[in-house]
Chains A and B, each alone.
Chain A
Amino acid sequence: MRQVLKNTAIFAAATLLSAVAAGQQIADPGFKSVGRAWPLAADLRDYQITGPTIPVTFENGVLSRGTWDQFIGSAHHGAAPKGVTPLPVDLFTSKDFYKDRELWKDPRYFRCNSPAGIEEAWGANTTATIGDKPPGSAAWGYCDRDYPRAAIVSPYPFKTAEEHYKALLAETTKRGGAHQRPTAKQLEEWTGRYAHPGNTTDAQADWTGRNKSNNPQSYWYRGRHNQIPTILSLLTPEYQTRMVQEAYHAGNTNAPQWPSQYCWPEGFMRRWHEFAVWEWHIIAAPSVVQIVTGVARNFITTIHVDREFKMDGAVPRLGQDVPRWYGETVGFWDGDTLITWTSDIQGWKVHSAFEYSNKMQTIEIYTPNRDRSGKFLGLNHEAIFYDPEALVEPIRIIRNYVKTSGFEEGDPYVFIDCVQTIFPVDGRSTPVSPGTDIQYEVPDMYGRPWAHIWEKYFEEGMERPKGEDIFSFD
């Protein structure tokens, strides 16, 4: 239920934006488009986080765990919220979540935890809320807080990314010329460093849950503002199962399997995960734009301007018939706005979010945010996700990146090869010192290796739904 915040304090990051830019979450292309910059059905800034969580403080780059007096949620340590009747079995008490499928539609099955709330139950990012008799003593979020589904799904009428891209291309052509490239000055404006949406003072306030008024940076994908059944409603049945499996092993068994902890690929959708991407470094040229980013300094998005996908394979692609961890991207300029289409993506997962398939494709629009004088402030990034295998309908994420500098100053961006120091030991991620012998099963990287660990170590006796494959190698 909508919880309108009354606090109107303006935080430091807002000073980076003009009054115009700060007041918007969507771009303003200056005309009514067929497929970009449509309004959001609801503004995340009007919604309080669902919880439960114990906020952190984050000052001058130093993070401190919060304390119980800062708890955000409706009940903790085994108590139930007033006016809420707990279910006889829920995620924190179930011995077999697969059997509880009918209950997954009820927020009480998750104790009204948001996806992030589940993840933080055992202290993933901050002080644990799981209580003193875990997992049964897990805390409750607020059952009346939920960012609306209508604001998550795409508002556009397109069924596929191809259809969407072609419509935008036709529109741009009709308006005076697709492929109209930016000026040298505009490319210079694009090129440089951009602050992560979570790396501004007001956004940090949002992240900690204390205050998020006037925050132009918030977006729903991190999973702090939703009930889990709302997110499940976006997914096909198989991907619902996978997300509940993720939630169960985050909240119940405390066996989270975050891919990057093992130096596994981060995966395409981690580009939208709150702290996966950190700042952007953009190099813009007329024929190619490159975005490098990632807290692990290993994400690269290369946008090939005015190239066309091959359409003769299972999915559109630019190169060979090989799915890529970050896909392949084509695009075209509309002046200083860049419209892109990404395909040929390797399906994967994002922790506390949902899995996606090799059919995932996106349309992304990068539109400059400018102040009233025309000064370049940063980029509005609107992304629409099409994945007919995982999603029951397309979804959308909008965020704003604030440009902070060119490349004339500051530490360089250094590409990182991840060095593995954490290994699964008895199914749990464990830092292991050099010279230590451990028993290690080589993961099947293209067979949901995280799920294999859970099923091997933590799902004994559960009745998993069987696949339809007549051949079994189990």
Chain B
Amino acid sequence: MNTKRTVGGLVAATLTAAVVAAPAYAHHSFSIFDASQTKTFTGVVTRVNPDANHLQIFFAPMNEARTNVERGPDGKALVWAVEMAGSAASAQQGISVNEFAAGTVFTVSLHPLRSGDPAGAREGALYKCPRKPNAEGVMKSIPPPAGKHCDSVEGSVAIGAGFDPAQQAQQAQQARPSGGSN
């Protein structure tokens, strides 16, 4: 499982000022998430919960070869949850039930739960892989090549807050202090 894998743009995104899942609207503490960690997934949407407080996308992470989703010993897909701002605020960014229908392949970075359970808070933009019609003419998401994420695929769409490379470079130089007083 490639849950810790990152790619260029997404690495940069995680180093920026951390556009977060809008705690200003929060109805729970974001301390349940470990903001010092960021995981990046490419996965398949299983359901979107358009809840007022935090929209959640449930998704099955894809395997490294991008040929299927990761599955447990019982053959069932492993499902993660990523939450973000409320459904109305998310919809303003283009994240909705209709835009992320079941089967959509997308890439997301998240801060995972401290407990290790499979959920996290969204970090930065979402990247939808391009869609093409299949043999029956139905539009289907096309997974990225092995080891790649949607942001590296031509025709992918970035949704939500992105990142500023200049800001990223500046912040990369900011060392976290080891202690001090003033």
Q: Which residues of A contact B (CB under 8 A)?
A: 56-58, 61-69, 71, 74-82, 119, 121-128, 131-132, 140, 250, 254, 256, 258, 260-261, 275, 278, 295-297, 351, 411, 416, 418-419, 421-422, 425-426, 428-435
Contact = CB atoms under 8 A, between A and B. Distances in A.
Nearest to B170: A67
Contacts of A119: 29
26 contacts: A61-B89, A62-B161, A63-B19, A64-B17, A64-B20, A65-B20, A68-B174, A68-B176, A71-B177, A76-B179, A76-B180, A78-B179, A79-B181, A121-B31, A123-B30, A123-B31, A124-B23, A124-B31, A256-B29, A260-B27, A275-B24, A418-B52, A429-B29, A432-B81, A432-B117, A435-B79
B32 interface: yes
A440 to B, nearest CB: 14
A426 B117 CA distance: 12
Nearest to A58: B24
Contacts of B115: 425-426, 428, 430
A218 to B, nearest CB: 16
Given A65-B17, A68-B176, A431-B81, 8 more contacts: A57-B17, A64-B19, A76-B181, A82-B181, A121-B31, A126-B23, A295-B52, A421-B56
A104 to B, nearest CB: 22
Contacts of B35: 65, 123, 127-128
Contact of B58 (A56, A58, A122, A434): A434
Contact of A430 (B19, B24, B29, B117): B117
A124 B178 CA distance: 21
Contacts of B28: 256, 258, 260-261, 422, 429
Interface in B1-47: 16-20, 22-33, 35-36, 47
B53 A296 contact: yes
Contacts of A81: 181-182
B19 A275 contact: no
Contacts of B117: 425, 430-432
Given A62-B19, A79-B180, A416-B52, A433 B27 contact: no
Contacts of B80: 433
B23 A76 contact: no
Contacts of A131: 179
The prevalent SS among residues of B at the interface is loop
A63 B17 CA distance: 9
A94 to B, nearest CB: 19
B27 A295 contact: yes
A78 B178 CA distance: 9
B-side interface size class: 35 or more
B53 A66 contact: no
A68 B88 CA distance: 31
A64 B32 contact: no
A426 B36 CA distance: 23
B86 interface: yes
A125 B113 CA distance: 15
B49 interface: yes
A67 B112 CA distance: 19
B119 interface: yes
B51 interface: yes
B98 interface: no
Nearest to B121: A431
Interface in B41-83: 47, 49, 51-54, 56, 58, 79-81, 83
Nearest to A260: B27
Interface string B111-148: 00111011100000000000000000000000000000
A258 B27 contact: yes
B32 A63 contact: no
> Residue among B16, B31, B92 with the most chain A CB within 10 A?
B31
A379 B31 CA distance: 35
Contacts of B83: 431
B32 A140 contact: no
Contacts of A297: 52
Nearest to B18: A65
A451 to B, nearest CB: 16
> Residue among A61, A278, A432 with the most chain B CB within 10 A?
A61
Nearest to B16: A64
Nearest to B28: A261
A81 B31 CA distance: 25
Contacts of B113: 430-431
Nearest to B182: A74
Contacts of A435: 79
A351 B30 CA distance: 13
B174 A125 contact: no
A145 to B, nearest CB: 13
Interface in B90-126: 92, 113-115, 117-119
B43 to A, nearest CB: 12
Contacts of A296: 27, 52-53
B54 to A, nearest CB: 8
A125 B26 contact: yes
A418 B51 CA distance: 7
Contact of A66 (B17, B22, B30, B182): B17
A430 B180 contact: no
Interface string B147-181: 00000000000000100000000010010111111
